[in-house]
A and B are shown apart, each in its own frame.
Chain A
Amino acid sequence: MKNLFLIAYLDVKESLRSKWFYVYSVVFGGLMALFFIAGVSDSVVMGFTGLSRMLLIFIQVTIIILPIFILITTVKSISGDRESNVLEYMLSFPVSLKDYYWGKMLGRFLTVFLPVFLPVFLALLLGVVFGLFKGGDLPWRMVFLYSSFLFSLSFVFLGLAFFLSTIVKSTDVALGSSFVVWIIMLAFIDIALMGLMLQNRISDEVIITIAMLNPIEVFRIGAISLFDPELTVIGPVAYYLLDTLGSNLLIIYAIVYPIVIGLILAYFGYIAFRKKDLL
């Protein structure tokens, strides 16, 4: 276990020095800060009433940027080390594969989640200060749930990236395959599903199930439900979803499902790391 934390610590240190981390922090941290600062209106402290359109744009941007950032920066983690022979040297020391793999994952999770969580934390502080001067309540529930959705979305893509990173031998293929997965997932939010629906060959329930198996769609619906509990933005599908799951279960599903998928993918990645040749 001590090696696991050592590897996580060293991975964080290494990431903090790299350029991708700063680009990621500025882009995503800035985006998150904007999200929450925009939510701090004069009339409703940290309230989001009347801002739904803006929030929707933020959610869409998150959906596009967060997964690809995590995939690009993480998918090279093990495949890149393997290609450059760093893995050969680092694993010539008595470190178990379990410690190495999960340590890398823990370290990478901290670095991708930190720029997401810090602006949330700062926005909370800002909200508290606003609250002191102007009165009003902080929407704790919304902040907590939105952070949880981000946590889940980050986690599922981290698991996917580690899975791809271990099963694929070269960085190019790892990057290429992560792009393909990302585009397919984005396509299956709307365009591909609409295509399927228009063909009238597959039942609507199946199409909605496909959509709800897509972690990006799950995040989107969960995030939208925070400021639009009736999900009017997504149209008639909302009735089906709310009738089937109910709003509370929908939120629980939006948090738990991506974490479970992320864990399964990460575990499969670990099995591949153990069972396949390391180099």
Chain B
Amino acid sequence: MLVVAKNISKKFMGTKVLDNVSLTINGGDRIAMMGPNGAGKTTLVRAILGFYHIDSGEISVNGFDPVKKRVDVLKNISFIPQLPPPVKLSIEELLMYVERSSGVSKEKIFEESSKMDLDLKSHIKKPFFKLSGGMKQKLLIAIALSKKSSLLIFDEPTANLDPKGREKFYELLTEIDTECSTLFITHRLDEIEGLVNRKIYMDLGKVTEDEKI
């Protein structure tokens, strides 16, 4: 099992955001995670990524605690946030950060970018935050796909993409290794229906539905 979350709870200022959540993600699981705003989807993902100290329960990723062993955990996870952050580094520097920290080759990122019709070389000196929304998102997707991870987490990955960009993105997802797991946080199941084999529905900090498709 890749991710095991047992009875995890998390409160923010007295409000329970995760309420006794248990979940397992196995190799090859393609999950669509849905639910209304404030349901706890992003909090759960952030807990898996080791950003939050949970109040109770336990999480392990490949047998490692995400907070105590964050480097071992994050070696095998790729993450794309909902909105591209305003990173001030130039693209060249951002790629250097990814290359040195995660062992991903720049060439691989260039290759994945060109598959998404993103010409990185002509923008290489530009600060990341000066790219258009769609370009930023494409680059984040290219980085995530270049990193050979066993779990890919996408938080609304296509929010900034035009229809053609979305099409390319979904096309690339079909090329992902079958052993690799993906977790999509989405409000639009219809778009990724063909790409997922499991759907999880969350509400008020609980997993209310978890079924194979």
Question: How many whole Å from B198's CB to the nearest CB in chain A?
Answer: 23
Question: How many whole Å from B54's CB to the nearest CB in chain A?
Answer: 10
Tell me whether A60 is interfacial, beta carbon within 8 Å. Answer: no
Give bound CA distance, A14 to B50, whole Å.
26
Chain A residues numbered 1-49 whose CB sits less than 8 Å from any CB in chain B: 2-3, 6-7, 10, 13-14, 17-18
Question: How many whole Å from B99's CB to the nearest CB in chain A?
Answer: 10
Q: Are A88 and B51 in contact (CB under 8 A)?
A: yes
Partner of B71, one of A17, A89, A94: A94
Partner of A85, one of B53, B77, B83, B102: B83
Q: Are B102 and A94 in contact (CB under 8 A)?
A: yes
Binds A, one of B23-31, B88-96, B162-170, B201-209: B88-96
Binary CB contact string for chain B from 92 to 110 against chain A (1 if under 8 A, 0 otherwise): 0100111011100000000
Interface of B is mostly: mixed
Q: Are A94 and B74 in contact (CB under 8 A)?
A: yes
Give bound CA distance, A86 to B140, whole Å.
13
Chain A residues, Cβ within 8 Å of B85: 84-86, 88-90
Tell me whether B75 is interfacial, beta carbon within 8 Å. Answer: yes
Tell me whether B124 is interfacial, beta carbon within 8 Å. Answer: no
Q: Are B75 and A94 in contact (CB under 8 A)?
A: yes
Q: Are B96 and A10 in contact (CB under 8 A)?
A: yes
Instruction: Evaluate whether A277 and B97 lie within 8 angstroms (CB atoms) in the complex, with A90-B87, A97-B70 already known.
Output: no
Tell me whether B134 is interfacial, beta carbon within 8 Å. Answer: no
Instruction: Evaluate whether A10 and B93 lie within 8 angstroms (CB atoms) in the complex, with A88-B51, A92-B79 already known.
Output: yes
Contact size class for B? Answer: 20 to 34
Name which residue of chain B comes closest to A274, CB basis: B67
Q: Are A88 and B81 in contact (CB under 8 A)?
A: yes
Q: Are B74 and A89 in contact (CB under 8 A)?
A: no
Instruction: Evaluate whether A279 and B46 lie within 8 angstroms (CB atoms) in the complex, with A93-B98, A94-B71, A94-B101 already known.
Output: yes
Chain B residues, Cβ within 8 Å of A97: 70
Chain A residues, Cβ within 8 Å of B90: 13
Chain B residues, Cβ within 8 Å of A278: 50-52
Q: Are B101 and A3 in contact (CB under 8 A)?
A: yes
Q: Are A96 and B71 in contact (CB under 8 A)?
A: yes
Instruction: Evaluate whether A277 and B71 lie within 8 angstroms (CB atoms) in the complex, with A14-B89, A18-B88 already known.
Output: no
Tell me whether A57 is interfacial, beta carbon within 8 Å. Answer: no
Question: How many whole Å from B31's CB to the nearest CB in chain A?
Answer: 18
Instruction: Evaluate whether A89 and B89 lie within 8 angstroms (CB atoms) in the complex, with A3-B100, A277-B53, A278-B52 already known.
Output: no
Question: How many whole Å from B135's CB to the nearest CB in chain A?
Answer: 16
Name which residue of chain A comes closest to B143, CB basis: A93
Q: Are B51 and A93 in contact (CB under 8 A)?
A: no
Question: How many whole Å from A99's CB to the nearest CB in chain B?
Answer: 9
Chain B residues, Cβ within 8 Å of A180: none
Chain B residues, Cβ within 8 Å of A91: 51, 70
The interface of chain B, by Cβ under 8 A from chain A, is: 46, 49-53, 70-75, 77, 79, 81, 83-90, 93, 96-98, 100-102, 127, 140
Task: Identify 24 residue pairs between A and B in the complex whose beta-carbon atoms are under 8 Å apart, listed by A's number.
Answer: A3-B100, A6-B100, A14-B89, A14-B93, A85-B81, A86-B86, A86-B87, A88-B46, A88-B51, A89-B81, A89-B84, A91-B51, A93-B74, A93-B102, A94-B70, A94-B72, A94-B75, A94-B101, A95-B74, A97-B70, A278-B50, A278-B51, A278-B52, A279-B51
The interface of chain A, by Cβ under 8 A from chain B, is: 2-3, 6-7, 10, 13-14, 17-18, 84-86, 88-97, 275-279
Pick the 10 closest A-B CB pairs, nearest first: A92-B79, A94-B74, A85-B85, A86-B85, A278-B51, A94-B71, A93-B101, A94-B75, A89-B85, A277-B52
